[in-house]
């Protein structure tokens, strides 16, 4: 299993103009507040507690930057959905996230995390279609695949695909993952490697 020799937390930033200035590619991770984003990030970078997990949704509140092997940046974005925070905070997060997604020239791809156990939620669909409307590159990452029963294990994902086919042809690129077993880690990292190799910064 691939190991990263150098993983450095570069900081948490509230505004786009505070983000690190560099020439490398960035990969953002976003999803509903309880989708298992922090656990997946820790699995990807093979650091147990680098991204802080919590039973309380809404733990991530800023743009959290991680420099991976001095090659590319992983950016952990605040979750959307039902985090128990004020309307003011939610509005602030939305503005911050939209600014980052729309204006960050280093952003190479955004991974939208979907809980494989549940039916596609309205705000998940809105997020996915937002990327399509704004022609922003993204991929879907199904999480918690190990939590599903063997019988009918793909049912939830197939239902999500069915909904997406009403809007997308072909379907967006997808990865099926588990933070517990490590399933999907290597294909996702291989895709990042491919994008890093072809990245050209366009200011």
167: alpha, beta or left? (left if phi > 0; alpha if psi -120 to 50): alpha
Instruction: Please report the pLDDT score of residue 55 as a whole number.
Output: 45
How many CB atoms within 10 Å of residue 83? 19
Instruction: Please report the pLDDT score of residue 149 as a whole number.
Output: 81
pTM of the model: 0.91
Which regions in the chain score pLDDT beneath 50? 54-58
Instruction: Please report the pLDDT score of residue 86 as a whole number.
Output: 66
Q: In the chain, where do the E strands start and end?
A: 7-13, 25-31, 63-68, 72-76, 107-115, 138-143, 174-176
- The reply to whether 203 falls in a domain is no
- The reply to whether 202 falls in a domain is no
Query: Domain of 161?
Result: 7-197
- Domain count along the chain: 1
- The reply to whether 178 falls in a domain is yes
């Amino acid at each position: 299993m691939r190991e990263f020799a150098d993983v450095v937390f570069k900081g948490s930033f509230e505004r786009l103009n505070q983000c690190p200035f560099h020439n490398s590619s960035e990969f953002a991770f976003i999803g509903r507040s309880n989708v298992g984003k922090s656990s997946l990030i820790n699995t990807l970078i093979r650091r147990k507690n680098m991204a802080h997990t919590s039973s309380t949704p809404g733990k991530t509140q800023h743009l959290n930057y991680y420099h991976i092997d001095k090659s590319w940046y992983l950016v952990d974005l605040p979750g959307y959905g039902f985090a128990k925070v004020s309307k003011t905070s939610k509005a602030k997060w939305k503005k911050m996230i939209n600014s980052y997604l729309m204006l960050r020239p280093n952003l190479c791809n955004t991974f939208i995390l979907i809980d494989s156990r549940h039916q596609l939620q309205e705000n998940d669909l809105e997020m996915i279609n937002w990327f399509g409307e704004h022609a922003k590159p993204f991929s879907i990452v199904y999480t918690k695949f190990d939590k599903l029963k063997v019988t009918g294990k793909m049912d939830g994902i197939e239902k999500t695909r069915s909904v997406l086919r009403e809007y997308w042809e072909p379907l967006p690129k997808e990865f099926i993952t588990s933070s517990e077993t490590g399933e999907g880690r290597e294909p996702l990292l291989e895709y990042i490697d491919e994008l890093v190799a072809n990245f050209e910064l366009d200011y």
